[in-house]
């Protein structure tokens, strides 16, 4: 998931226009209240006798142990006039209490910034409104990309990019890896925490063997220098993410990579492995779509939400028990989760959701760098709520087009 941009705003406009004329007058719409998660956006669908309403905002919401949390990423800018240092931190905000907790923080960029400050004691850090050099001697950035959220578990991909030059000579080192965080403890986990020690060890062993086969195959035709670099790339059981296929969980191991020169757009991944479904997945299953990729559906009591997928759009429709349909609107695809706001959602939570949607509607297209549910690391951080937007020097960062690079195995 990536930061909201003009594309996201265009989807919100389409959704509002479509939702405004969505309610047929001759048949009252069914009573329904639900949240729809699609990428780094959340849509609120409300339906009753007066019609169907759809509201979308650039915000990622996770439901953990019955409580709603907003997940977001904030820049950590420690730049100097001739050295760009911009890391990131991942946070989770409890919508009812309003407090934020840091789930994850980049450590590479702060370390480099400290080393630079110690080596240049007379150089002051840049103020927020000051610009860095157009060609800084050091350009160190880190990105935390939220891949998806499944209950309390947040899958992420972490990139660090360090580029230096001293006149004619330039060098660049890029690293990428994946991981899963438990948002309740802000701790990274291994697969065994989800499926048990025996199954976790088996899956890790299978993935390690697959990587060894892929690495040997690549090395067989690679030049000598590339073979030595391939040999140095080790399998890391902590580098994995959770995916969904037919409402069932899968573990996708990714190979931590380091490259010099061109930055990798994504960590290379091995073939998915099915996971045993525990109690945590049973609680999550109703949020996940059923049906083929082109026609997704979520049912609750006598009402069904249908998403007709075409290219990069999803046309939402409400359907009652008799088969009558009401148009909801068009949003960006894919649609990942639906949470029905039933009687288990109390008045305080509804009020907090309304407040969060109102706040998020004011975000500019450059205000957020969020994605699917994922929380932040241990200490409470309230100041970050006022400074969620990207650093003014954010344009110096390397643009990265998300894509999946899956390795045959």
pLDDT in tens, 221-248: 888 877 888 888 889 999 999 999 999 9
Q: In sequence order, what are the residues at sequence separation of 6 or more whose Cβ sits closer than 8 angstroms to the Cβ of residue 206?
A: 273
Pairing of strands 32-38, 41-48: antiparallel
Grade residue 376 by pLDDT with cuts at 50, 70 and 90.
Answer: very low
Q: In sequence order, what are the residues at sequence separation of 6 or more whose Cβ sits closer than 8 angstroms to the Cβ of residue 353?
A: 35, 44, 68, 95, 341
List C-alpha distances in Å: 326 to 1, 31, 81, 87, 343: 29, 12, 57, 45, 23
Partnered with residue 37 across adjacent β-strands are 42, 337
304-337 pLDDT tens trace: 999 999 989 999 999 999 999 999 999 999 999 9
What three-state secondary structure class fits 262? coil
Q: Is the peptide bond before 334 cis (omega within 30 degrees of 0)?
A: yes
Report the b/e string of 81-99 with b at 16+ CB within 10 A.
bebbbbbbbbbbbbbbeee
Which of 29-43, 115-129, 186-200, 255-269 shows the lowest mean pLDDT across its residues? 255-269
Model pTM greater than 0.85?
A: no
Closest Cα to residue 85, out of 3, 157, 144, 161? 161
| Through-space distance between the first and last CA atoms of the chain, rounded to whole angstroms | 26
Joined tokens for residue 379: 């200490």
* DSSP secondary structure letter of residue 302: T
Q: Give domain limits for the chain.
A: 6-191+239-396
Q: Where are the beta strands (DSSP E) in 83-137?
A: 83-94, 100-105
High-pLDDT (> 70) share of the chain, %: 81
Higher pLDDT pick, 27 / 73: 73
Grade residue 168 by pLDDT with cuts at 50, 70 and 90.
Answer: confident
What three-state secondary structure class fits 69? strand
Report the b/e string of 249-260 with b at 16+ CB within 10 A.
bebbbbbbbeee
| Average pLDDT of the chain, as a whole number | 85
Partnered with residue 380 across adjacent β-strands are 101
Which of 89-93, 120-124, 229-233, 353-357 shows the lowest mean pLDDT across its residues? 229-233
Average pLDDT over residues 137-159: 96
Which of 85-99, 110-124, 264-278 shows the lowest mean pLDDT across its residues? 264-278
Average pLDDT over residues 214-225: 85
pLDDT score at 264: 62
The answer to whether the beta carbons of residues 171 and 163 sit under 8 Å apart is yes
The answer to whether the beta carbons of residues 251 and 202 sit under 8 Å apart is no
């Amino acid at each position: 998931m990536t930061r909201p941009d003009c594309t996201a705003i265009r989807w919100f406009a389409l959704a509002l226009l479509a939702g405004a004329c969505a309610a047929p007058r001759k048949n009252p719409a069914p009573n329904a209240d639900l949240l729809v998660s699609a990428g780094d956006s959340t849509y609120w669908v409300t339906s009753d006798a007066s019609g169907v309403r759809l509201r979308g905002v650039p915000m990622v919401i996770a439901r953990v142990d019955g409580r709603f949390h907003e997940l977001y990423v904030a820049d950590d800018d420690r730049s100097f006039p001739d050295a760009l240092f911009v890391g990131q931190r991942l946070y989770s905000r409890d919508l009812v209490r309003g407090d934020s907790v840091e789930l994850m923080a980049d450590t590479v960029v702060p370390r480099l910034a400290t080393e630079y400050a110690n080596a240049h004691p007379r150089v002051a850090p840049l103020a927020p409104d000051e610009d860095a050099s157009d060609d800084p001697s050091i350009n160190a950035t880190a990105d935390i990309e939220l891949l998806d959220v499944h209950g309390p578990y947040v899958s992420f991909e972490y990139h660090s990019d360090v580029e230096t030059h001293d006149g004619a000579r330039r060098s660049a080192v890029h690293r990428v890896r994946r991981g899963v965080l438990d948002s309740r403890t802000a701790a990274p986990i291994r697969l065994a925490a989800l499926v048990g020690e025996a199954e976790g060890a088996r899956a890790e062993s299978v993935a390690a063997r697959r990587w060894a086969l892929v690495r040997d195959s690549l090395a067989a035709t690679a030049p000598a220098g590339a073979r030595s670099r391939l040999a140095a790339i080790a399998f890391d059981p902590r580098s994995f993410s959770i995916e969904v296929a037919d409402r069932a969980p899968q573990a996708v191991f990714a190979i931590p990579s380091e490259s010099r020169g061109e930055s990798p757009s994504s960590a290379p991944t091995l073939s998915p492995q099915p996971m045993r479904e525990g109690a945590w997945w049973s609680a999550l299953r109703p949020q996940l779509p059923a049906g083929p990729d082109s026609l997704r559906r979520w049912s609750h009591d006598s009402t069904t939400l249908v998403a007709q997928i075409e290219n990069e759009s999803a046309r939402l429709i409400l359907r009652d028990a008799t088969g009558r349909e009401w148009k909801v609107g068009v949003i960006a695809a894919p649609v990942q989760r639906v949470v029905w706001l039933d009687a288990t959602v109390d008045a305080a939570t509804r009020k907090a959701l309304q407040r969060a949607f109102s706040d998020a509607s004011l975000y500019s297209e450059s205000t957020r760098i969020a994605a699917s549910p994922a929380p932040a690391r241990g200490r409470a951080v309230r100041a970050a709520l006022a400074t969620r937007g990207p650093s003014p020097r954010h344009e110096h960062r390397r643009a990265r087009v998300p894509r999946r690079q899956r390795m045959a195995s």
